[in-house]
A and B are shown apart, each in its own frame.
Chain A
């Protein structure tokens, strides 16, 4: 399940700005208490988040294989050799392009389905809307592993419902069609699963946005004879621009990091690793091939790309908070 990283907090972060001028200055006891209160969380975050992040960079600069990992050989500082090796490998570029295209398809899919269904939900009465929202909440809440297994089962070569139904309607050749063998078909199946569990976030966010548009604006559009498509294009999308940017970047960040669905549905990256994305690639390099240095380099590249996206996210979010 996915949860937006930074929801608007009730009460807001700036509740007591402007201080209390009448208050006696009590800086030092406050600081001491604050340190005491912050210490446990600070320790955990420093040890489990900041230090590993630093270590990720360090490991990527060493020749770090099975021998070094088991302590059998001394660590050998190799500078940027891991990166040079990585960028010289055609496979890395294939995986990078695959990751970007796969993430793009998932993002476009979730946004299209999410926005479309939000508009649909805003035009129907409460009962069908509740049914849709309940179903969407179910898809949203399903753990990635469970969602992956049930989609695999539905599309199973031998016992899957989908093949059975397709064969039933007369597509004879589809009887034993494998949905996980071909590179593009397998990616398509995983993308469909990802869209299934990530469109609800977009739908619910955009639906709330549509609800916040004054009704007379929408009524005026309807009175002027605007079609739903036209209303969406000329009223809803421009008015919800900020919200849509945030939902888009949030989706990009999520879909770029997908691990579980690819790992479970393509059995660790597909036949001969042709369904790898960066995340799974780094994992396989490190823990299957014992190239920890190379795996860490992939991790650094991924972190760098996500950092760039995140900066865009923060800027977009700041943009929406302005009245």
Chain B
């Protein structure tokens, strides 16, 4: 398409005014859809005075890091950011190993009940985890009696629940990747004297890396975005809050600190955006290269 000569493109334009209109419309809609994100980042770098102005402008002549500096130094948002990173990374690492092992067992080993387990995985994905806040709250309280760092008010409780929530999907997804590795490879490895353990970790694990990456990013995003469980579990130990909860501190009846809220929201969004661009193809995998453009 891009190899067209300018002359031909122009004649195409004249011949199809409808398409030109459609393209202008598309660009306008793209602007509208992207605008909230633009506004978020813009407001984050505006001066507080500019934000409180009753005539907001869609640009700024003097971008500043003041909001970010304030939320980091005065409000300690850095600590909450770190908490979010710790929870999300712990979930990723744990679910990486747990789901890989389970996926290998479900695809490479033959045993009775394998199909039943696969169906149960499917069912597990359908459980509305939001409805489980109440029993999980009490469970985490009991866990805290035995292992305080895994109980209420600690990051461990968030790791545990998000690990559980991410596993069914992760195992389901990895199953396909593991199954796609040719069976001959295992036979060859066995003939070469490799144990099953070595085959699993030295051959299979690197081969399913693309699946592991996609799965990790999805687990990361889910744990990173969580609001409900952070709101429920981290009640009194405010220093253990995660970023989504911390942002809400800037809402107050006396007036919302929009500069800080937008700076915090930007911090919350950027890592996800980066990861999202990396894996967007896997989100619609099976739907044949949807976002190639």
Residues of A within 8 A of B (CB): 1, 3-13, 15-16, 19-20, 26-27, 30-31, 33-34, 37-38, 40-42, 44-45, 47-49, 51-53, 55-56, 58-59, 69, 117, 120-121, 123-126, 128-147, 149-151, 153-154, 156, 158-161, 164, 196, 204-205, 207-209, 211-212, 257, 259-260, 263-264, 267, 279, 282-283, 286-287, 292, 295-296, 299-300, 302-303, 306-307, 310, 313-314
Contacts and interface: CB of A to CB of B under 8 A. Distances in A.
Given A33-B109, A146-B268, A159-B258, A132 B33 contact: yes
Interface string B208-241: 0000000000100110110110011000000000
B153 to A, nearest CB: 14
B40 A31 contact: no
Interface residues of B, number: 114
A40 B164 CA distance: 11
Interface string B18-30: 0100110111011
B196 interface: yes
Contact of B131 (A13, A56, A69, A209): A56
B285 interface: yes
Given A120-B22, A282-B131, A307-B126, A52 B136 contact: yes
A56 B134 CA distance: 7
A117 B228 CA distance: 32
A37 to B, nearest CB: 4
Given A1-B272, A37-B109, A42-B102, A159 B172 contact: no
A282 B58 CA distance: 40
B175 A260 contact: no
Contact of B31 (A33, A135, A208): A135
A219 to B, nearest CB: 14
Contacts of A128: 23, 26-27, 30
10 contacts: A1-B222, A3-B221, A8-B287, A13-B118, A13-B175, A37-B109, A134-B34, A153-B39, A259-B130, A299-B131
A159 B269 CA distance: 22
Given A53-B127, A286-B134, A145 B225 contact: yes
A282 B134 contact: yes
Contacts of B218: 3
B29 A117 contact: yes
A48 B160 contact: yes
A240 to B, nearest CB: 11
Contacts of A142: 36-37, 269, 272-273
Contacts of B290: 204-205, 207-208, 211
Contact of A45 (B36, B131, B164, B172): B164
B14 interface: no
Interface string B156-187: 00001101110111011101110110010000
A5 B125 contact: yes
Contact of B248 (A1, A136, A139, A264): A264
B67 interface: no
Given A137-B280, A149-B262, A257-B130, A209 B287 contact: yes
Given A45-B124, A138-B273, A299 B132 contact: yes
Contacts of A4: 283
A34 B26 contact: no
Contacts of A5: 125-126, 169
Contacts of A53: 127, 132, 135
Nearest to B110: A30
A121 B164 CA distance: 38
